Amino acid sequence: MDTSTGVLTVNLDAVVRNWHLLCAQAPNSIVAAVIKADAYGLGARRVGQVLHRAGCRDFFFATVDEALAVADVLPGDARRYILGGFAVGEERKLLEAGLTPVLSTLAEVQRWQQLLAVTGAEAQCALKFDSGMTRMGLAAKDLLSLGADESKCRRLGVRLVMSHLACADEALHPQNREQLSSFNSVRDQLRAHCPDVAFSLANSSGIFLGDDYHADLVRPGAALYGVNPDTRGANPMQPVVGLSLPVRQLRQLKRPSRIGYGAELELPAGTVLAVAAGGYADGLHRILGASGVGEMAGVEVAVAGRVSMDSTIFDVTAVPNIQAIARGELKAPSIEVLNAQLDVSRVAARNRALGYEVLTSVRAARYRREYRGGEQ
């Protein structure tokens, strides 16, 4: 169907295959799914649903509202963790919705404890500690003194203790080993008191650092969506996302002309330009980067001039039959800016951006989202 805006395709079968691939990579661990930020822009409802159907039971969100937005599609046997903490007053909402908070400060631990005492409710939580990233998390010594109080741990309903790697995508970074040894030391000390608690350290890239990083549960996000988790080699994940932009106008230059805002680029007579729907308001500056390319009819085409808010100009001179297309005798094919060849990780590498930024940049955009696969 013709559209006036770009079409973002999400291959749900590829998401499921990627989850199975991660299960094979960490065969002795529970493989959770991080579907925060609307599954990195791809749609947490659809992604959560197909992964649950595939057998995934542990889902991570950043906020309470994110988890509530998918509550009706995740059956009751799904555990929903909230990574980002909770505001004062929000703890009741968590409890009522059956969500599992990841407690990262002593104040949160205290508030959760008080809530359980006041309501008499039984619920579970996770504890996060800082093994070296210096972002969120309890200090290791606070966690250890908490863990030494077995009855307190039981009353809090601690089910999972986790930490997060800062440099997992740089396999040789010495901090990986340092964080692993801090994690293992905390784990060994806590295990003595709390034998039923599970431990988790690895995100997507952490899974590819080796078995010793897997612990009881791994928390991949990006790899599920096709971002390369193994920065040492070829991308083992299947591409999930495609983005194609309809062409709104085609023109052949009659004389040398300056192109777009700032008139920074001049192109010679004879050049054929296509104006595609989609600009920086649609995240395209992230997707295309400084030296942007797309594909039209399988031919690589470069961005010409600056990306505008709502549109982007491509030099499509090299596309076969472009003269006939420019004369209106043939329909202009869409310009693909993400596909199996222009995959998220390659695009990101060219941009010196992160695959994560490329993906989450498309989420607020004016694209029509189309899903492929995902049938039972």
Ligand X SMILES: *Cc1c(COP(=O)(O)O)cnc(C)c1O
Cβ of residue 162: shortest distance to ligand X, in angstroms?
A: 7
Residue 177 CB partners (closer than 8 Å, separation 6+): none
Residues of this chain that bind ligand X (CB under 6 A) = 34, 36, 83, 164, 203-204, 219-223
Beta-bridge partner residues of 102 = 126
- Is residue 36 part of the annotated active site? The answer reads yes
Is 313 in contact with 273 (CB distance < 8 Å)? Answer: yes
**Closer of 223 and 337 to ligand X (Cβ):** 223
Burial 133-168 (b: 16+ CB within 10 A, else e): eeebbbebebbbebbeeeeebeebbbbbbbbbbbbb
Cβ of residue 184: shortest distance to ligand X, in angstroms?
A: 18
Sign of the dihedral through C-alpha 11, 12, 17, 22 = positive
**Closer of 131 and 204 to ligand X (Cβ):** 204
**Closer of 235 and 244 to ligand X (Cβ):** 235
CA distance 85 to 102: 6
**Closer of 130 and 315 to ligand X (Cβ):** 130
Report which residue's Cβ sits closest to ligand X. 221
Catalytic choice (36, 213, 225, 356): 36
Cβ of residue 287: shortest distance to ligand X, in angstroms?
A: 18
Cβ of residue 241: shortest distance to ligand X, in angstroms?
A: 14
Catalytic choice (128, 261, 331, 371): 261
Cα–Cα separations (whole angstroms), residue 39 to 6, 34, 132, 166: 19, 7, 26, 21
Rounded to the nearest 5 percent, the helix, strand and coil shares of the chain are: 35, 20, 40
- Residues with active-site annotation: 36, 261
